[in-house]
Amino acid sequence: MPSPSSAFAPGIDPATYVTHALHDAARDWPQTNCYADLWIEAVAARGGDPRAMFGFTAALDFEGDQFTFFKPSLDEIETLYGLGVFELSVYDNLPAHIAAQCARGRLVMVEVDAFHLPDTRGVSYRIEHSKTTIGVNAFDPAARRADFFHNEGYFRADGEDFVRLFRLAPEPEEALPPYAEIVKPLGAALAPDAARDAARAMLQRHLARRPARNPILAFADAAPSLIEAARARDPGFFHKLAFNTLRQLGANFELLADHLVWLDAAPFAQASELSRSVSAGAKAQQFVLARAMMRNKPFDDSALRELARIYDDLFDALAGARAWRLRAS
């Protein structure tokens, strides 16, 4: 079922779809989080460059028990790509709503249970119930088949998976409808030079709102209590802790590095390299954390505190980058 011409991203097929380079398996973080990953592929499938939208990663914070679950700014997506995002009120049959919107060339972003997502085989599929967001691009309720963006690619669900994902099976009366949004093309995307000018201004706004306290240092202070609490849980809980802390930290800064290179590679060279150092350091710390938990040993936070120093150097480099002066001249 290649996507029909009226689709949000026409002419693509899960069998032949090629994922964007931001999801290359050789990266530190081939997956980031479901929402950011979905936007990478959705923007790229329409011919846009997803690197333009990631200036917001400069404002990542530690929220006390997790790093910010970072998401692209919807206002900035509209400015850069001409795509408006609106809540879809699920007041009736969910498949009917999705079919109606897909027929109008909209992408339907809907929260589903990863237990029924075949692309999560070996992680969640038929193993664990967890909330995630997919972007439905092509939908055929008669054939019980849907093509959708999720994580690092474009996939298909059919048969029993389709029935369960889109709530065609009987559900408890008290079950709440899922949260859903439509992504609606409103106008043309910005041309490359205009997009860089807009993204530069966006990045400056995000730099002005970054946390007052170094978020990696805040995480280092909180890590012992988070790890101690995790040790009392089942072994699989480690993956949830790592996803919401070190993975969000590392993936965020790997995307910031890509954004800076796209924005102006030479003036931002030092800052992008430091950003990649934070990404690589967070990846290494996942293994340190795993070993500490498996062996029931104290977590050595010295490398985290070194990452906090690199974070400070990164933002010093951003403040002094020639790119700002070049654009002002």
Where does 21-30+83-185 sit in CATH, by number?
3.90.70
d(CA 262, CA 259): 5
Report, as an integer, the average pLDDT of 302-322: 94
| Residue 232, pLDDT score | 86
pLDDT at 51: 98
pLDDT for position 1: 53
Which pLDDT band holds residue 89 (cuts at 50, 70, 90)?
very high
CA-nearest of 248, 183, 203 to 45 is 183
- For residue 254, which phi and psi values (nearest 5 degrees)? -65, -40
* Maximal C-alpha separation, the chain: 64
DSSP-assigned letter for residue 143? T
Selection from 81, 56, 22 nearest residue 256 by Cα = 56
- The pLDDT, as a whole number, for residue 242 is 94
- Residue 143 contacts residue 1 (beta carbons within 8 Å): yes
Q: Does pLDDT of 165 surpass 80?
A: yes
Q: How many helices (H) and strands (E) does the chain have?
A: 11, 6
The tokens of 247 are what? 């993975």
C-alpha 253/C-alpha 111 separation (Å) is 26
Q: What is residue 174's predicted lDDT score, i.e. its pLDDT?
A: 63
What residue segments make up the domains of the chain, in order of their start?
Answer: 21-30+83-185, 192-328
The predicted pLDDT at position 329 comes to 44
Helix (H) or strand (E) holding 47: none
Average pLDDT estimate for 62-82: 97
**253 near 55, Cβ under 8 Å?**
no
pTM: 0.93
**Residues of the chain with pLDDT > 70: what percent?**
95
Tell me the pLDDT of the chain averaged across its residues: 92
Q: How large is the average pLDDT for residues 174-186?
A: 90
Round to whole Å and give the CA distance between 192 and 48: 10
- Cβ contact 37:23 at 8 Å: yes
